[in-house]
Amino acid sequence: MSRTPVGLPLVLVQGTSEFNGTYMRPNSSNTGTVPAGSPYSASPDIWFAGSTPIANYQTALATDSSYATQSNNNIYSGQTNILYVRGKNGATSNKTNTVQLYYAPSGIINAPSQWQNNVIKTDSGGIYGNITNLAPGTVGVCDATFVWTNVTPPPPGSDHYCVFAQFNDANNSNPFPSVDTALDMGALIMNNLGWGWRNTSMIAATPTWQYTTPLNIPSDYPTTNAYSIFIAPTGYVGWDAEFYSSRPDSQGNPIKLGRTKVTQDGILLGVSSAVLDPGYQSLMTVNMYSPNGQPPTSGARVPMSVNYVAGSQSYLEAISRNLIDTEFMLRLRRSCPELVGVEPTAWIIQGTYNWQVPSNAAIK
């Protein structure tokens, strides 16, 4: 049976326009034009840094050369992952925006109702950061460092996560979207560049266990100082240990202990000098790796200490105020041969955080 030709409905060609506000590109080919073309979930303006923070990230990620590139897609399971967000002002006036991040297990369709409660917080514990007073035609980077802590593998049926970023302003002109129909979803993806979407690649790097703790220097301290940061694992001989900060120190140097074998109880492992300004804030992450997959025994602990490095100007005052921990100084010099010959210096304790396996229990 033959069919007569069927007339198709006339396709109306819609015009394009420039997004009127601070926007994230859905892909590297987009220049702020809406409706956007595919791919829609490859935003180069959501930047994955792994566990290594970028020094001066607000400047580094706003250069022309950086804006023309993108990070890899890697998100590391079991780790604290560091993320940044940038945008470009497509309006004719300066713009100030808040920035929020969300995550969702992968899916071809990711309706906002599925991930509205999956917030990725900043390293200071906040839920958003800011891009402030961004001039027309310029690129700005959110002032907050987002940290996705202890990322677990996605649930069965999904092999990675999607990350979503939202720009908003004081007038709430880009509220959390109410997607009630298929047309609503299409409009969100194609026309609202105040939302960015990026798919990830999951990389297995899961430690046996992890803890995180803030590192904050009081903002009313009068000077920038050097600090040492150490862990002293007990009950973990044969394990590997590492730690890292969500931000570099005030000179742009990473605060990081690479993965290191624990050879004896109480050995000091860490960074002998990190220069930190008053008001410095970051999130420290400690990872411990079992050599055989077994959990630690009851009472095992991994204390972290932060110590002020008292140089020649404050060394004598530290002595006069009886602030020298002789036992700690000897352990420090045994553990850090590079400190031999560095005189006069004292390391004055500023605070500790002690994670310990509960009595008669082990991590599972």
Same domain membership, residue 222 and residue 196: no
In a domain, 246, yes or no: yes
Same domain membership, residue 237 and residue 179: no
CATH number at residue 228: 2.60.120
Q: What is the pLDDT of residue 363?
A: 47
Same domain membership, residue 229 and residue 123: no
Q: Return d(Cα 74, Cα 87) in angstroms, integer.
A: 21
Q: Return d(Cα 135, Cα 87) in angstroms, integer.
A: 11
Count of alpha carbons within 13 angstroms of residue 219, beta-carbon side: 2
pTM above 0.95, yes or no: no
Which of residues 204, 219, 250 is at a domain's end?
204
Calculate the average pLDDT of the chain: 89
Same domain membership, residue 241 and residue 168: no
In a domain, 363, yes or no: no
Q: What is the pLDDT of residue 337?
A: 63
In a domain, 81, yes or no: yes
Quick one: average pLDDT of 319-345?
68
Task: Answer with the residue of higher pLDDT: 283 or 339.
Answer: 283
Q: Of the given ranges (31-40, 283-292, 352-361), which has the lowest mean pLDDT?
A: 352-361
Each residue's pLDDT tens digit, 157-176? 888 999 999 999 999 999 99
Q: What is the pLDDT of residue 334?
A: 72
Quick one: average pLDDT of 238-262?
96
Share of the chain above pLDDT 70, in %: 91
Residue 96 CA, chain-centre distance (Å), reads: 22
Same domain membership, residue 190 and residue 134: yes
Binned at pLDDT 50, 70 and 90, residue 19 comes out as very high
Which of residues 157, 173, 204 is at a domain's end?
204
Same domain membership, residue 285 and residue 245: yes
Same domain membership, residue 250 and residue 337: yes
Same domain membership, residue 234 and residue 149: no
Which of residues 178, 204, 230 is at a domain's end?
204
In a domain, 361, yes or no: no
Full domain range(s) for residue 265:
209-356
Q: What is the pLDDT of residue 4?
A: 59
Q: What is the pLDDT of residue 297?
A: 86
Same domain membership, residue 224 and residue 327: yes
Same domain membership, residue 59 and residue 162: yes
In a domain, 11, yes or no: no
In a domain, 6, yes or no: no
Each residue's pLDDT tens digit, 165-224? 999 999 999 999 999 999 999 999 999 999 999 999 999 888 988 899 999 999 999 999
Binned at pLDDT 50, 70 and 90, residue 135 comes out as very high
Same domain membership, residue 213 and residue 181: no
Q: What is the pLDDT of residue 338?
A: 61
Q: Looking at the 3D structure of the chain, how many domains does it have?
A: 2
Binned at pLDDT 50, 70 and 90, residue 14 comes out as low
Residue 192 CA, chain-centre distance (Å), reads: 25
CATH number at residue 104: 2.60.40.10
Contact 80, 147 (CB under 8 A): yes
Each residue's pLDDT tens digit, 24-56? 999 999 999 999 999 999 999 999 999 999 999
In a domain, 8, yes or no: no
Binned at pLDDT 50, 70 and 90, residue 362 comes out as very low
In a domain, 147, yes or no: yes
Q: What are phi and psi of 164, to 5 degrees?
A: -125, 140
Each residue's pLDDT tens digit, 144-158? 999 999 898 888 888
Q: What is the pLDDT of residue 294?
A: 86
Same domain membership, residue 344 and residue 315: yes
